[in-house]
Amino acid sequence: MDIKIIASKQDITSISIAKKCEDVGLVVDYIKEDDVFVKELPEADAYVFLSRHSSKSKKPCLTAHFPGVFSSDTSLGGNSHELGFAFPSLEKSYIQNLKALKEKEFKGLEKYQVVIEATHHGPTHFEKPVMFVEIGSSEEEWKDEKATELVASALKATLSQTKPFNKHAIAFGGTHYPIKFTDIILNEEYSIGHVMPKYALEFLDDDMFKQMIEKSIEPIKYCIIDKKGANRKEKIIELAGRYNLEVVKV
């Protein structure tokens, strides 16, 4: 599978990770615009976007997620109420490699939390899957060379051999940084595509649920619900039944 790594010349962290990727033998394609607003990409089967992550908490983290816009707010790119394509096995492989390398080979990065993010921001219009890998959440982490080396090494391990997993799911509830779903990716058989967090559940309808299933290049058979971190559980379960998904409560 041809998976291209994309770096934005607008993002110093993206460029820093890109250089480390090239150091370990990976090929990087560069774009001029901010990655969330990119309109065209070179032909490929899937894309990995290198990016920085910002948050008010400024908590050090290493994240991955798929793009998508649940609401009508397109200030961070994408189209209103549209999801990009997900590649659950790719994210699972990356997060597992990231965690393993951080603990075994990259000592001194204990402050970084390895966690997936809920689906958010653009771009959403590409017909192939896009996965963002990010370093956050402040300038101190963006300039951390050891963190960029870790991300590059995890990507190399992932792209060398992305494992084909069999239990692909979508997930509902939790915070923007869903620790329960991250733990599932790390320790259980499931891989997870799109994640709709608790704050976005007001936008849940049949069309959005269907997109979460269909905007995945791997067949979605499971619906994982954070039973303490989700409202509208009856609606989620009803939609899961309509689309013949097995419900898993965590």
Please state, for a pLDDT cut of 90, what percent of the chain lies above it.
91
What domain range is 24 assigned to?
A: 3-249
pTM: 0.96
pLDDT at 148: 96
pLDDT at 137: 79
**CA-wise closest residue to 250 among 228, 232, 221, 222:** 228
Question: Per residue in 3-61, pLDDT tens?
Answer: 999 999 999 999 999 999 999 999 999 999 999 999 999 999 999 999 988 777 778 99
CATH assignment of the domain containing 173: 3.40.630.50
Assign 245 to helix, strand or coil. Answer: coil
Residue 159 has pLDDT above 80, yes or no: yes
pLDDT at 168: 98
Confidence of residue 164 (pLDDT cuts 50, 70, 90): confident
Quote the number of domains for the chain: 1
The string of DSSP codes covering 33-45 is S-GGG-----S-S
Question: Is 31:38 a contact under the CB 8 Å cutoff?
Answer: yes
Question: Per residue in 130-140, pLDDT tens?
Answer: 999 999 878 88
Query: Alpha-carbon distance 185 to 91, whole Å?
Result: 9
